Structure 1
Amino acid sequence: MTASAFPDESTTLMLPGPAGALEVAVDLPEPGDARPLVAVVCHPLPTEGGTMHNKVVTMVARALRELGATTVRFNFRGTGASEGEFDRGVGEREDLRAVVDWVRAARPGQALWLAGFSFGSYVSLSSAAELAPDALISIAPPVAGRGWDFSGIQIPEVPWLVVQGDQDEIVDPQAVYDWIDSLPRKPQLVRMPETSHFFHRKLIDLRGAIQHEVKGWLSQA
């Protein structure tokens, strides 16, 4: 499969990946709002129903698109129309690398932000040192009790936002706060009260929190 050209309108396409074709959704901002910025957003755990159509993932993408970013969501291997099988975060990092390589080849010179929700935040953060994004957004990173090792993750010195619900029933909020406290360089942290893992009835608040926190980064994009 030959890599598709980067589209000039919002669409879904298939992209060559390391384990077969990857299903990719590209969404463009309003023409008058567009900035030289592409944000790649990673979805939650596929084995628990996570896809690029997850409501948190689509809201993160919407929040960034309203600020002028082109957004790229994709299904990890074995999810949706993407080929291959779930690989516990190892192959998924390769999937992300393939998408990022495609974006950078198609949009040279533009800023690249990486965002992820839950498992997607693990994949994006554990890939960050290699991929060297211009900014990071992590929603409910599963730092404890989910089988994902955050201990060796190296975070580049770029703007970084973490959003965590205080009533998350899947990711222990205190574990997230303790992990952040242990880091030599801490992210911008937004703690959202009365908020569950999937941000039920809080998606608009999530959108506002992201936009408020990252607006100051746009001068660098």
Structure 2
Amino acid sequence: MPEVIFAGPTGRLEGRFHPAKQKNAPIGIVLHPHSQFGGTMNNPIVYQLYYMFAERGFSVLRFNFRGVGRSQGIYHGQDELSDAAAALDWVQSINPDARACWVAGVSFGAWIGMQLLMRRPEVEGFISVAPPAGKFDFTFLAPCPSSGLIVHGDSDRVAQPKDVQALVDKLKTQRGIVIDQEIIPGANHFFDGKTDVLLKTCGAYLDKRLAKVNAA
């Protein structure tokens, strides 16, 4: 789990990088929750998503947005998208032969991650954990360019189920895009006591997608 420092738009960004053994291994990037509410790359869900990708042979990066930990800059709210783009650029420079790219995000990180996939056509899959559809504007997903998983809890007071459902319903109307939705009973925004169920759900989805690629 090497510590890495790479160039971001407003200075250095701090991350942890797991290199894959295969040169053409897929890339995974994991984005953390809102930095103004304690979100960092060491968030337990971010940490476990990182290892979920690593265990499946990905070259995977998690990092701190600007102003978090040893990452330079200050929180902006929208420019964190530029941090994520810089992170993807860095991983691609290390893995120029990567055959695919995935983005996973938690809460605020899910919002940033879904903006990133709109800008980067090489992102072929996403996992959005508790996307805060009622707090942030997701109308940029028009249309959503990649299939992915949206997973949330039915007791979430931040990413409220009705708001997430409205987002899913909108995305499901798009031709050629498959949005899987998983609702975890009893889970709040932080998945307290439900993290194992969350990670099992995310891992099963990723395995399903990877099996389709390998069978092609």
Using the size of structure 1 for normalisation, the TM-score is: 0.87
- In structure 1, stretches of 5+ residues that fail to align are 1-9
Deviation at 1:71, TM superposition (A): 1.7
Q: Please point out which of 9, 31, 53 is paired with 1:18.
A: 9
1:75 aligns with 2:61: no
CA contact (8 A) 2:23 2:95 kept: no
Partner Cα separation in structure 2 for residue 180 and residue 150 of structure 1: 11
* CA-to-aligned-CA distance 1:71-91 (integer Å, 9 cap, x gap): 200100011100001011x21
Q: What is the aligned-residue identity percentage?
A: 30
Deviation at 1:70, TM superposition (A): 2.3
For the residue of structure 1 that corresponds to 2:79, the secondary structure is: helix
- In structure 2, stretches of 5+ residues that fail to align are none
Backbone CA RMSD of aligned residues:
1.9
1:170 aligns with 2:161: no
Q: Please point out which of 166, 181, 187 is paired with 1:195.
A: 187
Name the CA shift for 1:155/1:38 in 2 (closer, same or farther; >3 Å).
farther
Partner Cα separation in structure 1 for residue 142 and residue 3 of structure 2: 32
- The 5 Å alignment of 1:57-206 reads 57-88=46-77, 90-110=78-98, 111-132=100-121, 133-144=123-134, 146=135, 148-154=136-142, 156-183=144-171, 184-185=173-174, 186-206=178-198
Name the CA shift for 1:211/1:155 in 2 (closer, same or farther; >3 Å).
farther
Residue identity matched to 2:40:
T
Structure ranking higher on relative contact order (CA contacts 8 Å, 6+ apart)? 1
Using the size of structure 2 for normalisation, the TM-score is: 0.89
* CA-to-aligned-CA distance 1:183-211 (integer Å, 9 cap, x gap): 22351111100111111111111111011
CA contact (8 A) 1:125 1:155 kept: no
For the residue of structure 2 that corresponds to 1:73, the secondary structure is: strand
For the residue of structure 1 that corresponds to 2:207, the secondary structure is: helix
Deviation at 1:108, TM superposition (A): 1.5
